[in-house]
A = this chain, B = another copy of it.
Amino acid sequence: MPSRQTVSSKRSAVIKALAHPSRLLIAEALMGGEMCVCDLKDLVGADMSTVSKHLSIMRQAGVLVSDKRGLNNYYRLACDCLGDFLRCLDQLAPRNVKTKPCC
């Protein structure tokens, strides 16, 4: 069984993979179904190589899976629990005052 340390760093990698705005945008887009890299490039608006590296990070963390069909590489979410996750996030409003929890 995995040690606490292993589990913790695994979790960190997954969160890190979602922490970049472009990567989060990609994850949100993929909630609607799989997309190929060139479509994601248009969505993000960055160089394809940049997008490819983002996708690589997300795939290595286990957030995405991909398969190649024809000329294109299609990516999709590895798990559909992401939706709940994002809804959870939205309950946390950013605040710099002390005290007063959100929920």
Which A residues have a C-beta under 8 Å from some C-beta of B?
Answer: 7-16, 18-21, 24-25, 28, 59-63, 65-68, 76, 78-82, 84-86, 88-96, 98-103
Contacts and interface: CB of A to CB of B under 8 A. Distances in A.
A21 B7 contact: no
Given A18-B15, A66-B98, A99-B65, A88 B79 contact: yes
A76 B93 CA distance: 15
- Specify how many copies of this chain sit in the oligomer: 2
B92 A14 contact: yes
B8 A24 contact: yes
A74 to B, nearest CB: 10
B89 A88 contact: no
